[in-house]
Copies of this chain bind each other. A is one copy, B any other.
Amino acid sequence: MTGATRMIYHFGGGEADGNKDMKDLLGGKGANLAEMSGLGLPVPPGFTITTEVCLEYLRKGGHPEGLREEVASAMASIEKRMEQRFGDARRPLLVSCRSGARASMPGMMDTVLNIGLNDETVKGLAAASGDERFALDCYRRLIEMYGDVVMRTGREEYHRALEKAKHEAGVEEDRHVPVQALQALIVRYKEIAKASAGRAFPEDPKEQIWGAIEAVFRSWNGARAREYRRIHSLPDDWGTAVNVQAMVFGNLGDDCGTGVAFTRSPATGETGLYGEFLPNAQGEDVVAGIRTPQPIRRNASAPGLSLEETMPAIYKELSGFAETLEKHYREMQDIEFTIQKGRLFTLQTRRGARTGQAAVRIAVAMTREGLIVSDEALLRVEAARLADLLADSFPEGTRVTAQRDGRLLGNGLNAGPGAASGKAAFTADAAYAMARGGHDNVPVILVRGETSPEDIKGMEAARGILTARGGMTSHAAVVARGMGKPCVVGFGALVVGEDGRSCRVGERTILEGEFLSIDGTTGDVMLGEIATTSSEIVKVLVDRSLKPEASALYRDYETLMSWADGARRMKVRSNSDTPSDAATARRLGAEGIGLCRTEHMFFGADRIVAVREMILADAKPQRQKALAKILPMQREDFLGIFRAMDGLPVTIRLLDPPLHEFLPRESAAIDEVAAQMGVTARTVRERVERLAESNPMLGHRGCRLGLTHPEIYEVQLQAVFEAALAAAREGVQVYPEVMHPLVGTGEEIRRLRAMTVAMAERILSDQKPAIPWLVGTMIEVPRACIAAAEIAADAQFFSFGTNDLTQMTYGYSRDDTRNFLPVYIAERILPSDPFASIDQPGVGRLVTMAVEEGRRVNPKLKIGVCGEHGGDPASVEFFDRAGLDYVSCSAYRVPIARLAAAQAALKALGGKRR
């Protein structure tokens, strides 16, 4: 550092040396305090020692020349502004000392409050505040914090002493410890500090402040901070700034208080100041939640008088500050303030957190108000939060109430957003019977160890799904999201009874028919019935029970979506298997179907018999006979989907799962099937055994089935093209895209393409105008990415199946990760769940390779993704960068993908459109 470099930046009194753009030098906190002060807001005065000083200190093990003088002069400046003096027994100035790096690093922040107190000044504070207990308590806290942060004594001994004092005084809460006990505690605290650190707690305020500053410097290289930086890939050469700031207190009388204000409602997005305050209280009292806070604005329905009513001048001043800050930051702000003896101080301002609904309304309103432009509005809404807008919800505070009443059973993985309440059913059949059996539509929650394709009917009938096992991309999770149903999976405490009539959660047994409530947005599982509120947007779009003009939220949502559609490059499709799914997806903005799975069609009650007949047949002619029965039904399925998607492309994936998934496993079911088929149970059992696989994920499935049993794919192709023909003759515009799953080599797709072309020519050749159809592949085994050039020669499109691709690239079966993936994520062995957001350096690299090499061979190759990642915003951004043409996701994630695709496009432009 050269002598010329400035070491200290002042703020406070409506002016500042720094500003918000100086985070590198002043840290995030320091830059922000300077900015607020520079705007003229009443920030308690203070100063920031730069990150460069910290680095210099760490480099040479002592502070740079001249710092001591600069700090002294800065302290004098605070004294002047506060009309107090550091170490003065009558009007003592107290300061805080906090670290603050370029980026927020929670958990490594070292803070010392109340610096400046000692046996003398504490009396001055008592006198000034008129509250001896308060002053002593501040002093006690200083010794503990200073002991911990500066003298490295730890905190345990102090806590033990405090507990002992409370016990002796017969009080429960810290704030009820009497004065005399506090005085004794302070003596004891000093003894603890001295005994632990080998030196006395310094009474000299100057020594206190220097100790604190140096401790903050050193904390940058502490084990905790280094580990944090390693995990988050932050560089070691940033250093931390140190912020020294005058303390203000909101608990010095009735003309004091503290609170938090939002410039708009964080819950609904409504315009106008919003927030809560506590008179005569400290910030931590608000957090502790012991007293009920009062509203800031006049509000008849809220408890207690508002700030507007009790302190109208302060209210007016705060409103002005809020307006200033929102205009200045062009964003809704969350402002912390303290009122000390009738004087308002703003302590912090930051972007206000908000619900999805509020985010949409605020972004659109601010654009309307001219504060921001629409591109900015698009970037302001966290895409994933749109799920909140579409899901049913429980009333606010439901969790707290349930916990208080002992009805909160625990928390699983929030696999499908929304809230649902219903009677517990433990088998798919029971769920179906309960929901559809009676005259009234009984709400049901399907509770299973895990689900399988056989459970589809029960899942459709249920309001929500709860499973003991499985992750975010387990069968239950994927299917539930596809259906837009609330779903909690991986609820480890749950044990479903073998009788299929009950389950256990800990000591608690729940019987069939008892009410359960699950919140798929949070993962909460609760006992009893809880009323849900429907999403306004779903009411308008899907169930049509609300007129568009009746919902302001809907109108803002539509506005935002129209901006998104104008901004994005990638198309958005949906993964939909039925005409009704397809219609829903279309209303939610899907521009086609990216994945229509055909295996669900094989499970229908009217066809599973024929499917099993086909599987049990010994020879091809018998299989063909059985398949002929399935043909007309499958054709109808496709026709329905083509009608629903009139004018849009539909990607149909041929049969993917191994055949054994269609056979029963339990003895009774085997007997039943044998009777239906007219064969012996032994025949069925032998076939089940012959088809059984050790690792079905890597077995005889996908196009391997289509190549070894071409008759299956041929019937499916026939159904696709006949349905297309029928639809076209009805005047429907059809764009069928035939997708072959699990392709790993060029030779596979070459043969499958030939099979597809032959069938299309047979059925469609006479049709005028010609029906435009495509044939392509899923890209889901790693080898397909490596051999993309070979495959692209015979494929018109690629669709990345990133679920399976992730499974095989990592070697993780998503059904089997329960015992290690949570540990991996918790211990940060993995940065995040690769099934939730695509692993860009690993799986993503394979995707990029395949895109580049595939397009090199076949420049017209259409490329999309139809794995669960298609609905994850971070993944969507990656796919945009990788050059994909579209993403496809479950219907209720389509709006998320539309917005995420717009954000990706805007980021790619680097703000050029603005």
Contacts and interface: CB of A to CB of B under 8 A. Distances in A.
A210 interface: no
29 contacts: A693-B813, A695-B815, A697-B811, A698-B698, A698-B812, A698-B813, A698-B816, A700-B816, A700-B819, A704-B824, A705-B820, A707-B824, A707-B827, A708-B819, A744-B811, A745-B829, A745-B842, A751-B829, A781-B811, A782-B808, A782-B809, A782-B811, A783-B809, A783-B810, A783-B811, A786-B846, A787-B841, A787-B842, A790-B841
B807 A698 contact: yes
B707 A813 contact: no
A742 interface: yes
A103 B266 CA distance: 78
A823 interface: yes
Given A693-B815, A781-B811, A786-B845, 14 more contacts: A695-B816, A697-B813, A698-B812, A700-B816, A704-B820, A707-B820, A708-B823, A744-B811, A745-B830, A783-B809, A783-B811, A783-B842, A786-B841, A808-B808
Nearest to A846: B786
Contacts of A783: 809-811, 839, 842-843
Interface in A708-764: 708, 742, 744-745, 747-748, 751
Contacts of A312: none
Contacts of A839: 783
A744 to B, nearest CB: 5
A699 interface: yes
Interface in A776-811: 780-783, 786-787, 790, 804, 807-811
A765 interface: no
A817 to B, nearest CB: 8
A787 B804 CA distance: 19
A781 B807 contact: no
Contacts of A747: 828-830
A696 interface: yes
Q: Looking at A747, A783, A790, A817, which has the most chain B CB atoms within 10 Å of its CB?
A: A783
In the complex, the count of this chain's copies comes to 2
Contacts of A2: none
B700 A697 contact: no
Interface in A662-695: 691, 693-695
Nearest to A829: B747
A196 to B, nearest CB: 29
A817 B696 CA distance: 10
Interface residues of A, number: 51
Contacts of A823: 707-708
A384 to B, nearest CB: 25
Interface string A842-885: 11011000000000000000000000000000000000000000
Contacts of A815: 693-695
A698 B842 contact: no
A815 B820 CA distance: 24
A496 to B, nearest CB: 12
A633 to B, nearest CB: 26
Nearest to A495: B686
B700 A820 contact: yes
A804 B824 CA distance: 22
Max chain B C-beta neighbours (<10 A), residue from A742, A781, A816, A841: A816
A698 B700 contact: no
A695 B809 contact: no
B694 A696 contact: yes
A824 B845 CA distance: 29
A785 to B, nearest CB: 9
Contacts of A846: 782, 786
A753 B747 CA distance: 42
Contacts of A744: 810-811, 842
Contacts of A830: 745, 747
Contacts of A804: 811
A625 B675 CA distance: 53
B699 A813 contact: yes
A200 to B, nearest CB: 39
A751 B227 CA distance: 13
Contacts of A694: 696-697, 813, 815-816
Given A816-B698, A820-B707, A842 B786 contact: yes
B695 A829 contact: no
Contact of A698 (B695, B704, B707, B786): B695
A826 to B, nearest CB: 11
A807 to B, nearest CB: 6
Nearest to A658: B816
A31 to B, nearest CB: 33
Nearest to A707: B829
Given A842-B783, A845-B786, A811 B810 contact: no
A547 to B, nearest CB: 48
A145 to B, nearest CB: 33
Nearest to A827: B707
A681 to B, nearest CB: 14
Contacts of A817: 699-700
A819 B695 CA distance: 13
A263 to B, nearest CB: 41
A790 B839 CA distance: 14
A842 B807 CA distance: 18
Interface in A371-426: none
A820 B705 CA distance: 8
Nearest to A842: B783
Contacts of A696: 694-695, 816
Nearest to A815: B694
A159 B827 CA distance: 77
B693 A816 contact: yes
A818 to B, nearest CB: 8
